Amino acid sequence: MSTAALITLGCKVNQYDTQAMQELLLRNGYTIVAENDPVDVYIINTCTVTNVADQKARQVIRRAIRKNPDANVLVTGCYAESDRQAIEQIPGVSLVFGNREKADLQKYLDLLHESVPENSASSLLQIKPVHHDAIREHANFGASVSEAGKHTRALIKVQDGCSAFCTYCIIPYVRGRMTSRPLPDIVREAKQISANGYKEIVITGVHLGAYGLDIRRQTTIADILESIHPIDGIERIRFSSIEPMNFPDDLVDRMAALPKCMPHFHLPLQAGSDKILRQMRRRYTTERYMRLVEKLRASFSDVGITTDVMVGFPGETDADFEESLRFVEEIGFSQLHVFRYSPRRGTPAADCPDQVPPHVSAQRSKVMIALGKRLGLEFRQSMLGKTADVLVEDSQEGKAQHLAGFTGNYLRVLLDLPDSAINQILPAKLVGIEHEFMTAEVAA
């Protein structure tokens, strides 16, 4: 029996795609093993959002080849789209295929079987990938994925690609234009997720709010929520991340009327300076962003607002950065992901003459991270003493005595409970703070 290991880098959309590929491997009789076990086939699903992500992808590929030099190493994902050559040059890589070729994995697996002569332990593939255009027609959305490794929280990908072309972002080039998945397919998958015992659905996509813009009889993201909300067994629904420019008041109102929609929103801000937002071509202002946050706060109690902030975008002056800091503080995010800008070849921002020197963006990153930590702590402090429903997931983060779970507003909570509590939603009193976690006691 052949063994396969899958390694995923990057975002939730990639996690979803990996799971779809894993299910295909299982259907083909593969046993899924860990990266360091003896492996016949690696599937490495890469990310290219920054040059650090590219570097990490190359490291992971090399590490896999070192561990199992006779394995077939198949590399896919966004880095495979953006710099196929760099990957093909790594000795030991068998095949590189892009995001839009993930749908053709079955074909590659068939070729793999054909190309391995009997009794050969070291046959490497020589597969010529099909051209992108040939497969663009049938994007593979695959099946549901458990994010936590247990049957608690599942991802559903409802759209892929992006047509927004923010000036720094490589994603429209590597994931292609927006493609929305038909609503009946999504509902069918949500029912399957519920039948498999999951309690929470995370709706995911590259540019979620733009869902439906490419469909003739337009369906919206609110229609998805309203269609899956009545499914028995699903008790929580949330978005992985939704761009602020595609979050109209009507969507907030329709979500607020659905009790299964959780009060947590990840709204990528990127910059708190209108000048920089314009140069990023982000299509919202700080004022509009603030109005959205106020509307969410008025519609959901104890809402958690998390975000991504980019520092060191070309042309960002000290004054622009200070403005961003003030805006981030004013919003009071419950969590901040800070990225240093890195030029992506082929994007307009990469050609801007006034690139920010690395030592300056490194310093800004430190300052922004420190602010994010303080704001996160303040949010956790504001929740002390309150009771919140926690979906108990598993004992992660090496804290063996504890089970961990998430509140509706996406606070990570530790609970001292037996394993039988996993996949239950329990009311818990938030009694303490332990680093980025809160500790809680199940309420009587």
CB nearer to ligand SF4: give 207 or 364.
207
**Closest of 86, 85, 65, 79 to residue 14, by C-alpha:** 79
- Taking residues 115 to 154 in sequence order and writing x for each that binds ligand SF4 by CB under 6 A, - otherwise, the string is ----------------------------------------
- The residue from 148, 154, 155, 164 that contacts ligand SF4 (CB under 6 A) is 164
Question: Is residue 346 near ligand SF4 by the rule CB under 6 A?
Answer: no
Question: Is residue 207 near ligand SF4 by the rule CB under 6 A?
Answer: yes
Phi, psi of 42 (to 5 degrees): -100, 140
Helix (H, G, I), strand (E, B) or coil at 175: helix
Question: Is residue 221 near ligand SF4 by the rule CB under 6 A?
Answer: no
- Taking residues 228 to 267 in sequence order and writing x for each that binds ligand SF4 by CB under 6 A, - otherwise, the string is ---------------x------------------------
Residue 179, CB half-sphere, CA atoms under 13 Å: how many?
A: 14
d(CA 322, CA 327): 9
Phi, psi of 44 (to 5 degrees): -115, 115
- Burial of residue 385 (number of CB atoms within 10 Å: 0-12, 13-18, 19+): exposed
User: Which residues on adjacent β-strands are paired with residue 336?
Assistant: 307
CB nearer to ligand SF4: give 103 or 206.
206
Number of residues that bind ligand SF4 (CB under 6 A): 10
CB nearer to ligand SF4: give 87 or 171.
171
Binding range to ligand SF4, per CB under 6 A, among 10-18, 95-103, 161-169, 214-222: 161-169
Binding range to ligand SF4, per CB under 6 A, among 162-170, 325-333, 358-366, 369-377: 162-170
Question: Is residue 195 near ligand SF4 by the rule CB under 6 A?
Answer: no
CB nearer to ligand SF4: give 245 or 252.
245
Question: Is residue 278 near ligand SF4 by the rule CB under 6 A?
Answer: no
Binding range to ligand SF4, per CB under 6 A, among 158-166, 298-306, 316-324, 393-401: 158-166
Helix (H, G, I), strand (E, B) or coil at 137: coil
Min. distance of Cβ 289 from ligand SF4 in angstroms? 14
Buried b (16+ CB within 10 A) or exposed e, 27-50: ebebeeeeeeeebbbbbbbbbbbb
d(CA 357, CA 246): 33
Give the largest CA-CA distance in the chain.
Answer: 67
CB nearer to ligand SF4: give 347 or 407.
347
Min. distance of Cβ 281 from ligand SF4 in angstroms? 8
d(CA 156, CA 137): 20
CB nearer to ligand SF4: give 238 or 282.
282
Other beta carbons less than 10 A from residue 418's beta carbon: 7
Binding site for ligand SF4 (CB under 6 A): 162, 164-166, 169, 171-172, 206-207, 243
